[in-house]
Amino acid sequence: MLDKKNILIGVTGGIAAYKVVEVASRLKKAGANVRVMMTRAATEFVSPRTFQEITGNAVFVEMFGDAAHFHVAHVALADFADLVLIAPATANFLAKAAHGIADDLLTTTILAFDKEILIAPSMNTKMYENPATQANLAILKARGVKILEPASGNLACGVVGKGRLPEPEEIFATIEKIFAPSTKALSGKKILVTAGGTVEAIDPVRYIGNRSSGRMGYEIAKSAVNAGAEVILISGKSELEPPNDLKFIKIESALQMREAVLKDFDSVDAVIMSAAVADYRVKNPAAQKIKKSADTLTLELVKNPDILKELGGLKNSQVLVGFAAETQNILEYANKKLVEKNLDFIVANDVTAEGAGFGVSTNIASIIWRGGNVENFPKMSKADLAEKIIERVASLLNNDKKFPAANVNQ
Ligand code: PMT
């Protein structure tokens, strides 16, 4: 499991640093490539040479002192690692990491690292329980950093309480678990999500667009990633940062979205179309900026292909989920789209309701299943609604019959 994994250990200045020698040794024996960086304070407790002998690699302490090994050490070390373990982590380190302070090699490397970080704090009980330390831990946890809680017992300072570094075998087991193959609801599944609004050119300057911000679709894509899926997010216009850990394809027009969706359709297990796709495009967009002259301007529009309907015709085993942006007769119109487009379920939202639809961070939706069953949801964040949608897609793909609504009247 750990074979050929690149693990970077950051050792800070605590008496428990000696235990981390054993962690490094276990990782090395398990086949991992292990590199170690230490703060100057850490070298007061364990010699860098000890880690060097155990790992077979040079140990890094100084920001500018090891130039012979790497061009820009903190970036190279961050790029090297699949996982960074900080053990023991002092209260001082936690404070710096929580606030983005980068005043030595270790803290600078952490700032340049964007994958899994595991921190094992170890210190005196009062320092650990101090509200400042707890607040720093909360900040780090909220950012997705994994914290291995310290154990209770006799501490080096003579106190009995919480603050001991967990034993090397526990730290090793936690790392193994991080690399263990996922058993999440969508692991092994490939999901295609569309988001944002398409843009239909009038001329090189102007376009016909819509009010979609991309939020709903980006949340769905994130939720699918969290559920272990391999995700392709095809996005029209959106100001949002693309989420991590997925394949991101940016398009502009409905025709480009169609091409991108069709290219991947055969290889995916499910498609969730939350994008607001323009139903019409300008027949002949002008090659140059249209000059303001006449009092009126007539644009001839032609119908865009209905991407989802096309997928409904092509579908074999894929789960197909659509959205219906409605302003009246919500359930009736949405149900019509569900049937016409051959969907497994459709998410209907009244885009005129307050706190629902375009732009906002919440939505009010109903899920209509094939066969007519309806689930009505109260106002909730788009992230929560995304989770509900992903749970239902996973249930259909895993055929676990968790949502009886899916199986009635089919
Ligand atoms: O992006 P946000 O600001 O978060 O807003 C979210 C949202 C309001 C855009 C979203 O919740 C939503 O309702 N998305 C669907 C918008 C839409 O185009 O609805 P529709 O009822 O016109 O289309 C029905 C379905 O067919 C949709 O899944 C749509 O993606 C698809 N469609 C539509 C037209 C077309 N030519 N091809 C399509 O595939």
CATH classification of the domain holding 280: 3.40.50.10300
- Does 26 share its domain with 166? yes
- Does 358 share its domain with 257? yes
Does residue 200 sit within a domain? yes
Report the pLDDT value the prediction gives residue 245, as an integer from 0 to 100: 85
The reply to whether ligand 1 has any atom less than 6 angstroms from the CB of 351 is yes
Does residue 410 sit within a domain? no
Residues 86, 89: Cα–Cα separation, whole Å = 6
Banded pLDDT at 69 (limits 50, 70, 90): low
Does residue 388 sit within a domain? yes
The reply to whether ligand 1 has any atom less than 6 angstroms from the CB of 235 is no
- Does 167 share its domain with 256? no
How far apart are the CA of 400 and the centre of ligand 1, in A?
28
Q: Residue 84 has which token pair?
A: 């960074």
- Does 175 share its domain with 226? no
Report the pLDDT value the prediction gives residue 66, as an integer from 0 to 100: 59
Q: Which of 67, 135, 157, 159 is catalytic?
A: 157
Pick from 208, 262, 273 the residue to mutate for probing ligand 1's pocket: most ligand atoms within 8 Å of its CB.
273
Contacts of 48 (CB under 8 A, 6+ apart): 36, 38, 59, 61
- Does 37 share its domain with 149? yes
How far apart are the CA of 188 and the centre of ligand 1, in A?
27
Between 371 and 275, the higher pLDDT residue: 275
Report the pLDDT value the prediction gives residue 409, as an integer from 0 to 100: 41
Report the pLDDT value the prediction gives residue 410, as an integer from 0 to 100: 37
Contacts of 292 (CB under 8 A, 6+ apart): none
Atom number of ligand 1 nearest to Cα 357: 8
Q: Model confidence over 139-181: pLDDT tens digits?
A: 998 888 999 999 988 877 777 888 999 999 999 999 998 998 7
Q: Using an 8 Å Cβ cutoff, are 346 and 407 in contact?
A: no
Q: What is the mean pLDDT of residues 276-300?
A: 96
Q: Model confidence over 367-394: pLDDT tens digits?
A: 999 988 999 999 999 999 999 999 999 9
Q: Model confidence over 30-65: pLDDT tens digits?
A: 999 999 999 999 999 999 999 999 999 999 999 887
How far apart are the CA of 109 and the centre of ligand 1, in A?
42
The reply to whether ligand 1 has any atom less than 6 angstroms from the CB of 277 is yes
Report the pLDDT value the prediction gives residue 339, as an integer from 0 to 100: 97
Tell me what percent of the chain is helix, strand and coil, each rounded to the nearest 5.
35, 25, 40
Report the pLDDT value the prediction gives residue 142, as an integer from 0 to 100: 83
Phi, psi (rounded to 5 degrees) for 354? -70, 135
Q: Which helix (H) or strand (E) holds 388?
A: helix 382-398
CATH classification of the domain holding 114: 3.40.50.1950
Locus of tokens 């789209």:
337
User: What average pLDDT is seen over the chain?
Assistant: 94
- Does 278 share its domain with 321? yes
Report the pLDDT value the prediction gives residue 1, as an integer from 0 to 100: 82
Instruction: Judge whether residue 219 has pLDDT over 90.
Output: yes
- Does 212 share its domain with 159? no
- Does 281 share its domain with 164? no
How far apart are the CA of 307 and the centre of ligand 1, in A?
11
Where a domain ends, among 179, 208, 240? Answer: 179
The reply to whether ligand 1 has any atom less than 6 angstroms from the CB of 364 is no
Does residue 408 sit within a domain? no
The reply to whether ligand 1 has any atom less than 6 angstroms from the CB of 325 is yes
Q: Using an 8 Å Cβ cutoff, are 244 and 188 in contact?
A: no
- Does 58 share its domain with 78? yes
β-bridge partners, 324: 348
Please state whether beta strands 59-60 and 83-89 pair in parallel, antiparallel, or not at all (unpaired): unpaired
Where a domain ends, among 120, 144, 179? Answer: 179
Report the pLDDT value the prediction gives residue 402, as an integer from 0 to 100: 85
- Does 247 share its domain with 360? yes
Atom number of ligand 1 nearest to Cα 360: 3
Provide, rounded to the nearest whole percent, the portion of the chain with pLDDT above 70. Answer: 96
- Does 167 share its domain with 278? no
Could you tell me the residue range of the domain that residue 204 belongs to?
Answer: 190-398
Q: Is 380 a catalytic residue?
A: no
How far apart are the CA of 298 and the centre of ligand 1, in A?
26
Dump strand ranges (E) for 46-109: 59-60, 83-89
Residues 41, 337: Cα–Cα separation, whole Å = 65
Atom number of ligand 1 nearest to Cα 219: 4
The reply to whether ligand 1 has any atom less than 6 angstroms from the CB of 365 is no
- Does 296 share its domain with 326? yes
Where a domain ends, among 114, 146, 179? Answer: 179
Does residue 154 sit within a domain? yes
The reply to whether ligand 1 has any atom less than 6 angstroms from the CB of 383 is no
Number of domains the chain contains: 2
208: left (phi over 0), alpha (psi -120 to 50) or beta: beta
The reply to whether ligand 1 has any atom less than 6 angstroms from the CB of 272 is no
Locus of tokens 């899920």:
367
The reply to whether ligand 1 has any atom less than 6 angstroms from the CB of 348 is no
Does residue 390 sit within a domain? yes
Pick from 212, 259, 338, 364 the residue to mutate for probing ligand 1's pocket: most ligand atoms within 8 Å of its CB.
212
Does residue 170 sit within a domain? yes
Does residue 404 sit within a domain? no
Atom number of ligand 1 nearest to Cα 363: 11
